[in-house]
Amino acid sequence: MRMGSSWRWQLSRAMRLALRWCRLCRPQRGGRCGGSKPWISGRCFEVWSYSKMLLKSLYFNSLTNADTLLDCAFEPVYWIVDNVTRWFGVVFVCLVVLLITSVVVIIYLFVLPTILSTYPLHWIVWHLCYGHWLLIMVVFHYYKATSTSPGHPPKDKTQIPSVSICKKCIAPKPPRTHHCSICNLCVLKMDHHCPWLNNCVGHFNHRYFFSFCLYMTLGCIYCSISSKTLFLEAYDAIERNYQTPPPTEVYEESTAHKSIIFLWVLTSSVAVALGGLSLWHMILISRGETSVERHINHKETRRLKEQGKVFKNPYHHGPINNWRLLLGVDKRSHWFTRVLLPSSHLPSGDGIMWEFTFTRRDPMAI
């Protein structure tokens, strides 16, 4: 949450103070003799004192600290990033769809025929089942993550459990709710705003987002391993093109080799990057935290440690129970029907009321 006034007001305030500083620097005309050393030293001390007061006045009051100065200084940058992300969200979604489509087309045109013609029957059946299962899970969860609302506090109800008032929406803010500057809305159990989804990740689509990251990582690893032999052959063939004289190669073979190299490089890169992101979110889920709460809880832990206290996350119900709550698993069969198969079931709870695992004396961050 950003503190302080708008950046325009801060800029005008800074300009007025700077103008006052310049007036102090200007020598006065009249009774004083120009070039008097005592007058110059006193004037310099006055300018120095006023400069320090000017700097402190930009960020200091009884409610804030030096972090507010950085927020005010970077407010134009925040504004640019928010607007660029908002307008380019559709472009990012189209790019994801285009890349997934290109990978699927290359698999069907070049990788799958090789599997069907050279692999044993049991391996062919395994590749067909596993590959298409991953494709279905990736497409389903990406569609649900982009089209499902993350959840917002009800605007027509004022009698809802809240821990504070949103300074942007001027409305009650329930626990674990944060304001998204890109969507310009408060989001229930907000994790972050994902430009690749053009949507916020919150209470009602957190499971879809994580499942997409996980199955996309598995799909990229599968494509990378399956096309490794073809990639090495294509790489050797392209290297032979630089020989003198180059070998005769038809256009279809050259296109196939370049497509295989594109497939392997893309899937391997995405597997590493998205695999790291998935691992990070697995850690957060096991701790019962979101990305926003991780930052808040870390600061609160350090603050309480200085006071000799220990911070406890009130939303941490144990790793297994945290996963059950996120995935909506109530019984054993749900691990198959709701996790390993496409499912549109709602998460546990409404995102407004939360079960706490702390006593009233335990410190907590909001």
| C-alpha closest to that of 267 among 102, 128, 89 | 102
Paired strand residues for 192: 201
Active-site residue (options: 72, 194, 220, 223):
194
Q: Enumerate residues 6+ apart whose C-beta is below 8 A from 117.
A: none
- For 349, phi then psi, to 5°, come to 85, 175
Active site residue 194: yes
**Catalytic positions, please?**
194
